[in-house]
A = this chain, B = another copy of it.
Amino acid sequence: MSQTTRDHFLALDERDPLAPLRDQFTLPPGVIYLDGNSLGALPRATADRLGRAITDEWGTGLIRSWNDAGWVELPARVGAKIGRLLGAGPGEVVAADSTSINLFKVLAAALRLQEDRAPGRRVIVSQRGNFPTDLYIAQGLADLLGRGAAGGYTLRLVDGPDELPHAVDERTAVVLLTQVDYRTGALLAMAKTSALAHEKGALIIWDLAHSAGAIPLDLPGDGADFAIGCGYKYLNGGPGAPAFVWVASRHQEAFWQPLSGWFGHAAPFAFEPDYRPAPGIARYLCGTPAVLSMIALDSGLDTVLAAEARGGMPALRAKSIALTGAFIELVEARCQGHALSLVSPRDPALRGSQASFAAGPELARGYAVMQALIARGVIGDFRAPDVLRFGFTPLYTRFVDVWDAVEILSDILATRSWDAPRFHQRAAVT
């Protein structure tokens, strides 16, 4: 970087066509928020929208609002907005439940599809570094299915994507991958990896927790079979926002997933004793949708879709690459000799919207460094055992934030101010 001045970064913000989108959010003063990959910031419109939903739709409309306020259509309506970010066709996405629950649904569906067309495939391949809940859900389902005499499913974990060509074979039922590694930010090529799975006769499930709203996606074009993802990160849906599920049209009606609750029934209000799956993606719904959380997610999605008039996902992606690239370059230039080493891919084409550094033993593995940063208003997060993780949300992160965050980080390192007892106290959620 030739221009290592704050003014240079201010100038980048002035030229940034996406800069006005930041006004959609309320961000606390004195905070540089680099954790939108964990919990997206609060959209300015959300409090009012939810307030109206509570007061008018719930308080006044009461039960009538299932029809009159369209609550019953929220999973499909919110899902359709998410679908625009995934390259999905109409009716391919619903918002529902949590990412973990949705993974259970699609993994059960994928295993059943394979059992019907290629029995004997009993291995689920994933990455050891996949977000743990994905592995836990796969373990739970494999355990549940594995008691039958037909023999159990096993979960085979690879250390990195390089091992996939070897690990995926004629015994593989499903490949389960998170596109962007939550720790390192490494980004998998969806088309190539999906093709690899298909060549071996496997189906592929993509967890898009760190992709949706951050990476331009074309699920049908890139050959995905199933996808799930999270509403509370780049979609700004609020803490614990409903998640989403996408199923390729070709698979939707092949199976009814086992979390077959009444909202996935063809006629939920006919109160029939036998389950009949709804046509299409609606069969991936289960119980009554969490209306209030769904409305907050709807509001969050509008902040992302507002970028469509300014270049959309490709423009967000270009800014994301510029932000993470500048951050990496500045940290490496200004924090040299402080035992920070980049764990995110240096090639922007292989990197999601985050930059992660491993902290060495000289920095006590980094936990206290992150606490010191947070105390100075730079909010990233720490991922055990030693990762300082900084997420960049181009909707509201400015170039000058990159400069200021590194300024504060380099000061904390130079003065060793992180090494105070209070910064070493572990919180419940790290």
Contacts and interface: CB of A to CB of B under 8 A. Distances in A.
Interface of A: 26-28, 31, 33, 35, 38-39, 41-42, 46-47, 50-51, 54-55, 57-60, 62-67, 71-72, 97-101, 104, 108, 115, 128, 131-133, 135-137, 139-141, 143-145, 147-150, 157, 183, 230, 232, 238-243, 256-265, 268-275, 286-294, 296, 374, 379, 381, 383-384, 427-430
Nearest to A260: B140
A30 to B, nearest CB: 10
A101 B286 contact: yes
10 contacts: A46-B54, A50-B54, A71-B240, A98-B288, A128-B273, A131-B271, A147-B150, A240-B289, A292-B292, A293-B293
A43 B136 CA distance: 38
A259 B62 contact: no
Contact of A287 (B98, B260, B294, B296): B98
Contacts of A65: 239
Nearest to A147: B148
Contacts of A31: 62
A259 B104 contact: yes
Nearest to A380: B63
A150 B261 CA distance: 26
B288 A66 contact: no
Contact of A275 (B128, B140, B374): B140
B50 A292 contact: yes
B259 A137 contact: yes
Contacts of A54: 42, 46-47, 50, 238, 296
A169 B104 CA distance: 32
Given A150-B148, A292-B292, A265 B132 contact: yes
Given A28-B62, A98-B290, 14 more contacts: A51-B51, A66-B239, A72-B428, A97-B97, A115-B147, A141-B258, A149-B149, A157-B273, A239-B292, A242-B290, A270-B384, A271-B384, A290-B290, A290-B293
